[in-house]
Amino acid sequence: MSITPLQIDFWRSVVSEHQQLEFKEAKIQYDNQKLYRYCVALANEGGGHLLLGIQDKPPRKVVGTQAFNNIIEMAEKIFQKLGFRVDIEEVQHPDGRVLVFQIPSRPRGTAYHFDGAYLMRSGQDLVPMSEDQLRKIFAEGEPDWLEESSRTDLDPQQVIELLDTQTYFELIKLPYPSEQRGVLDCLVQERLIDTSNGKFAIRRLCAILLAKRLDSFPDVSRKAPRVVVYVGTSKIKTKLDQLEAKGYAVGFQGLVQFVMSQLPQNEVVEDALRKEIKLVPEIVIRELVANALVHQDLRIGGTSIMIEIYDDRVEISSPGEPIVPTERFIDGYQSRNERLADLMRRMFICEEKSSGIDKVVRAAELYQLPAPDFRTTHQRTVAVIFGHKELEKMDRNDRVRACYQHSALKWVMGERMTNQSLRERFHLAEHKSAIASQIITNTMEAKMIKLDDDAGSSRKFARYLPFWA
């Protein structure tokens, strides 16, 4: 079907360029190499349209293009260079000639590359895809790692001996069956174990959740969470290094309690009285550990969940780079392991509704902790939660991060950040509003927040939004 000028105008009206659309002015010409690269990037992102002859900034005025006068020849060049077909259509818009490149999606389980570079878009730039993203693409079509069998050829008694079925039924709040057959039938119906000719196989998903001992399952034993306690604030001296023996679900409460028992005490002043409290509150440990367990990339071998405890902070990291950008953890949610997340939600370990990080940020504000720091390192996602620190001791990055997270938290709560709300977050008196204003200014300069235009032009009653709102 031919593309009409009306369709061009509809695409121009889209609020922002997204995965399916890319606009380029290209009044006179457009570089072939750049065209090939964009075709590869768009194909890797599911396909879409590249439009030449349109400004890439709103209002996206049609300026017309003289590039590629022979579109049949250009389509043939693209095919010879990239190995996949891109249809090109010439549209005579009232404001000028527009070329539309219709780019197909990559095949399932395949990523396209140009001169060895697997490309994707990032803002206005083209960048190489991360190892984590490529691994996920290449794994498409392969069997789900969690759904494959870990132990096979088992009799009923061996299944019961390997799994903590009693705790499983307690967690899902069902009465424990009076007969062994009822226990096994329930696990079969839940697709946690499989049966054939009187023998049973335990899936990895079942082992990783319900194992009495993870080391009884060699292919999942390396997925056991590891707790490391250091002396001081560096890795130089280790006080304790311990693996969690049980499956994630049956051992979760014990793991959280163990971590809490290893946290140092922190001295704070409240109502003019000094008191000793744990470095960070339990809800923070609970939510971040659950989040790490659910969202880890289980296909990465030789690594596990790490809970590292220092005198001044706790670092919780998991294998794999995040699906959702770290700055969108508060408002975004996408589960890497859907069945694992669903079962842990039903066992009341996680909520699977994007509220866990909200609770962590809210707790940091309530307990007057520095804002948590979410980081992406090589093949790992790291969450750092710090012990209590007075505002005067926080550096610029600490303050900007806290301000941004406060604005995002307000947004998801249906509210808006103000100077007053930020002062309340830092426990600043009203006469210290200038300090809050400076933090807001620094955060705006960092392009992490913006003014809420709906609040009017008065600085006194200004409201602020996260940059993506």
Helix (H, G, I), strand (E, B) or coil at 282: helix
Tens-digit pLDDT profile for residues 366-376: 998 999 999 99
What confidence tier does 331 reach under pLDDT thresholds 50, 70, 90? confident
Q: How far apart are CA 40 and CA 122, in angstroms?
A: 14
Per-position DSSP letters for 324-336, written without gaps between them: S-GGGTTT----S
**CA 202 to chain centroid:** 29
The answer on pLDDT for 270 being more than 80 is no
Burial letters for 316-330: b for 16+ Cβ neighbours within 10 Å, e otherwise?
Answer: bbbbbbbbbebbbbb
Q: How far apart are CA 333 and CA 342, in angstroms?
A: 14
Encoded tokens for 458: 């008065």
**Structure confidence at residue 193 (pLDDT):** 98
Tens-digit pLDDT profile for residues 236-250: 999 999 999 999 999
Encoded tokens for 71: 């579109």
What is the model's pTM?
A: 0.74
User: Which among 342, 469, 323 has a CA at the least distance from the CA of 410?
Assistant: 469
Element (H, E) at 167: helix 165-171
Domains belonging to the chain, first-starting first, are 5-129 (3.30.950.30), 145-219 (no CATH), 224-386 (3.30.565.60), 396-466 (1.10.10)
> Torsions phi, psi of 465, nearest 5?
-125, 155
Specify the range with the lowest mean pLDDT, choosing from 107-111, 202-206, 441-445: 107-111
**Structure confidence at residue 112 (pLDDT):** 94
